Structure 1
Amino acid sequence: SNWLSRIVYAEPHHFRILPDQLFSQYQRFAAEECVLKSGGVLCPQPDCGAGIIVDDDCIRIKCYACQFVFCRNCLQGYHKGDCESPDLLATATSSYSVDATKAAHSRWDEATKLTIKTKTKPCPKCRTPTERTGGCMHMVCTRCDFEWCWVCQNDWTRDC
């Protein structure tokens, strides 16, 4: 199938009526989708997000743009052995001090994070939070098109 035609709008000149900032955002999103659909990953560092194409069996990834070295499976800093569970990561970061004013301003952020944590599961391939709103357990990631099972979070098969 011609997946590239589904990523980039067939008539990109129509978007030129958008303000420059929105057009740039559209171009960035299209480039990110192209990288993900090609089997690549996006750098998880804040303010980076560079697209990186690597071999499927490559776990240790170094971003060419910001030099961050990370684990392909959990998108955390590179480590040997199994990835930490999200619960262990939350426990490890819970002792950091928080500015009370910033905390008050981040209530919406925390509510959003809680909703994402309780209502979604990460795509096993690109880690994009995915919400199941009904139907069967067959999930298709909206970002990378990976097909997976909601229950076991593995590749989708008819046996799931």
Structure 2
Amino acid sequence: MSPLSPEVQLDPSKAWCPVIDCQAVCSVVPGVEGMPTPLPCQACHAIFCCSCSQPWQDEHVCSSSQALTPASSEDRCSPDTPIKQCPMCGVYIERNQGCAQMLCKNCKHTFCWYCLQNLDGDIFLRHYDKGPCRDKLGHSRASVVWNRMQVVAVLVGVSITMMVTFPFLLLASPCILCCIFKPCRGKNRKKKKTKRNPESAPADH
């Protein structure tokens, strides 16, 4: 896994080992909020600070003015937090701006950023027409209507294509089946001929 992997960078319960030759993924042990905590690496046995990633020493003080403390469960559930977990696979996802309809790159699950409701089958984005997430999609009403018109056009186009091609497929199905099963019949006939006419040994004079 690359040190630039967003799954580790966005997960407050994981951290990269700062040793260049190691760079293993370490599990962060929850400590006192705002206080530096030593984190041992299980791979190279180095001990570093989980807040500033510097080597751990007695009476350690973080060199960074802002300690990276894990977010609480209340902060993760807040609608304003920029990092949330996918409700399907649990991978951490970061949202800066834009659409509230989120697609998890790990499991391809589609959900609402605000209420985490499943949106896999909501191709018309009806979820944002009512309820607590009304008008929170992040796009103008005109763009939503345009998107729905495009979806309808695609569905109508597919339906028309199926209606036009179905009669031709129905008429061509006997020819297709004949082409499929004809080689099999030829092989069966050859096998029957070899069984009926076995090779006879030359007679002795």
State the TM bucket, normalised to the shorter chain: 0.3 to 0.5
Q: Compare CA radii of gyration and give the structure with the larger one.
A: 2
Please report the TM-score for the alignment, with normalisation by the length of structure 2: 0.27
Please report the TM-score for the alignment, with normalisation by the length of structure 1: 0.33
